[in-house]
Amino acid sequence: MKKAKNLACLIGILALAFLATGCSDSRTSESATPKQVVKFRSYPKSAVGIPKGLVVEKQGAAVTATLYDLKDGNGFVIDSQLATGRYWPDKNAIILPIGLTPLISAEDWIAQDGPRMEIPIGQSATNLFAMFKSLGPPGMSIELLRFVE
pLDDT at 57: 95
pLDDT at 139: 73
Query: Could you read off the pLDDT of 112-134 as tens digits, one per residue?
Result: 988 999 999 766 667 899 999 88
pLDDT at 47: 81
Tell me what the mean pLDDT of segment 61-71 comes to.
94
Give the chain as a DSSP string.
-HHHHHHHHHHHHHHHHHHHTTS--HHHHHHHSPPEEEEEE---SSTTPPPEEEEEEEETTEEEEEEEEE-SSSS--EEEEEEEEEEETTTTEEEEESS--TTS-HHHHHHTT-SEEEEE--TT-SEEEEEEE-SSSPP-EEEEEEE--
Give residue 84's pLDDT band: very low, low, confident or very high (50, 70, 90).
very high
Separation CA 59–CA 37 (nearest Å):
9
What is the domain partition of the chain in residue ranges?
1-28, 33-147
Separation CA 103–CA 65 (nearest Å):
21
CATH 2.20.25 assigned to domain 33-147? The reply is no
CA end-to-end distance (rounded Å), the chain: 65
pLDDT at 118: 93
Q: Are 144 and 128 contacting, i.e. CB atoms less than 8 angstroms apart? A: yes
Of 57, 124, 47, 137, the closest CA to residue 94 belongs to 57
Query: Could you read off the pLDDT of 4-32 as tens digits, one per residue?
Result: 333 233 223 222 222 233 334 445 555 67
Separation CA 65–CA 76 (nearest Å):
15
pTM score of the predicted model? 0.73
